[in-house]
Amino acid sequence: DQQVKQNSPSLSVQEGRISILNCDYTNSMFDYFLWYKKYPAEGPTFLISISSIKDKNEDGRFTVFLNKSAKHLSLHIVPSQPGDSAVYFCAASGGGGGADGLTFGKGTHLIIQP
């Protein structure tokens, strides 16, 4: 039973445009949500997080939106750059995933087209 779902395995966006990556969750006990970025042959790198008491968090070109009633969050990247091409994992904590360990989605492969 997947508690964190990323339904788009891949997404292609033109350079300079907005990239929107989506994530849905089922466990209402989750209290923190995080996005990680992963390049091939490297470990995931923390990007941005949001607490369940907020609905938006912004850091430079990255903004995460949380809709608790819909159990949905999204990551917006604007403007998209070639270096943003990577796999993006949505993750959640607080739902019992190992003493505050993370429950991950399967990832979305973002491809930025020049």
Report which of 1, 76, 83, 85 is spatially closest to residue 35, judged by C-alpha positions: 76
- The nearest distance, CB 112 to another protein, in angstroms, is 22
Nearer to another protein, 86 or 107 (CB): 107
Positions touching another protein (CB under 8 A) are 4, 6, 31-32, 34, 36, 41-46, 49, 51, 89, 93-94, 97-107
- The nearest distance, CB 4 to another protein, in angstroms, is 8
Q: Where are the beta strands (DSSP E) in 1-113?
A: 4-5, 10-14, 19-25, 32-38, 45-51, 56-59, 62-67, 72-77, 86-93, 103-104, 108-113
Nearer to another protein, 92 or 112 (CB): 92
- The nearest distance, CB 81 to another protein, in angstroms, is 22
